[in-house]
Amino acid sequence: MGKAINLFLMDDTADGRLKCTIKGRSGIIFRIPRKDLDVSKSREELNRDGVYFLLGEEDGREKIYVGQAAGRKNGKGILERLSEHDRKKIFWSEAIVFTTSDNSFGPTELNWLENKFCNMAIEAARYEVVNGNEPPPGNVSEEKESELKEQVEFAKLILGAIGYKIFEPPKKILPPVESGEKIFYLSRKIKALDRTINAQMKRTPTGYKVLAGSDVSPLESGNISSKPKDFRRSEKVVNDKLIEDLEFNSSSTAAEFVLGTNANGKTSWKTKDGVQLKDLQ
């Protein structure tokens, strides 16, 4: 049986604030860019109790902070907590807020949800979880736990539908197997990382395909072209690994994607015997 998700573009733009609901469910998910905190002060739902996720990038890594906010005596809740993070935490660029239309999350529910979401994010390993300590789960009855698990599934469904696979483990990566198709290899020591970046590629009738399982350097210079730059920020790259094959129209663009800097693909890619791509073209 299908589900209809209601997506409301609060600012009439795809990259602005977003409100997500499902008819008959009390849960509400908001996406709020950090720059839009001030214009969100009039939203009554954001002064309720809830759980939130701060998302952003720092040092070439996607990061997440999982937190909770309870209502205060001044009538303010989640948004006040986000404003405090705006003054302190540096890395985040947007917040995901999970609350309810009936404000039914009390301290017990918040503790359980915060602990659950934090551990789910750690297990999925798509983001680096920057919570200093694991939030305590608190004590809930089995009846309440059953209700909260339904709320967790609601949040996962909404987040997945709007493109946030925070709690979904990446697909398993199988190493490439050489058969009739020749595989080319790129291996380069990055001094700033103190490790070697290794990647694999094969030629196709239409271009050059970097294979799943390849390393992707988290460092990036400002002179790479737009296509590899965009792909480096896509969900196809998880924890500096490519999780799906990606095709480029030139070997150099493929090398740029892997290394994060300008590169000559004809000399960077080699067979397992060390023969450069240029010598086979």
- What confidence tens digit (pLDDT) does each residue in 89-125 have? 889 999 999 999 988 898 899 999 999 999 999 988 8
**pLDDT at 54 > cutoff 60:** yes
CB of 219 closer than 8 Å to CB of 259? no
Q: Distance between CA 161 and CA 209 in Å, rounded?
A: 28
Q: What is the pLDDT of residues 200-244, one digit of tens each?
A: 999 988 889 999 999 999 998 877 888 888 889 888 899 899 999
Give me the mean pLDDT over the 119-145 stretch: 86
Residue with tokens 């890395």: 91
- Span 166-194, average pLDDT: 77
Phi-psi region of 103 (alpha: psi -120 to 50; beta: other; left: phi over 0): left
Lowest-confidence segment of 42-51, 126-135, 145-154, 261-270 by average pLDDT: 126-135
Amino acid letter, 176 = P
Question: Confidence class of residue 70 from pLDDT cuts 50, 70 and 90?
Answer: confident
* Mean pLDDT within 260-275: 91
User: Which DSSP letter does residue 41 get?
Assistant: T
Task: Name the one residue in this structure whose structure tokens are 């890594």.
Answer: 61
Give me the pLDDT at residue 258, please: 95
Helix axes 142-161, 107-124, angle to 10 degrees: 50
Alpha-carbon span 80 to 76, nearest angstrom = 6
Which segment of 66-80, 209-223, 245-259 scores lowest on mean pLDDT?
66-80
pLDDT value at 72 more than 80: no
CB 129, CB 122: distance < 8 Å: yes
Mean pLDDT taken over the chain: 88
Query: Across residues 154-167, what is the average pLDDT?
Result: 91
Instruction: List C-alpha distances in Å: 50 to 8, 10, 184, 242, 257.
Output: 19, 20, 50, 34, 39
Mean pLDDT value across residues 74-95: 87
Which percentage of the chain shows pLDDT scores above 90? Answer: 53
pTM value is 0.63
Predicted confidence at residue 138, as pLDDT, reads 78
Strand order in the sheet with 92-100: 5-9, 18-22, 27-33, 92-100, 50-58, 61-69, 128-129
Average pLDDT score over residue span 30-42 = 93
Q: pLDDT at position 73, please?
A: 61
The pLDDT, as a whole number, for residue 193 is 85
Evaluate if residue 152 carries a pLDDT over 80: yes
What is d(CA 203, CA 184) in angstroms, rounded to the nearest whole number?
A: 8
Using CB atoms within 10 A of its CB, is residue 217 exposed (0-12), middle (13-18) or buried (19+)?
buried
Asked whether residue 67 carries a pLDDT value surpassing 60, the answer given is yes
Q: What is the pLDDT of residue 75?
A: 59
Structure confidence at residue 281 (pLDDT): 60
In this prediction, residues 236-256 reach a mean pLDDT of 92
Which has the higher per-residue pLDDT, 138 or 27? 27
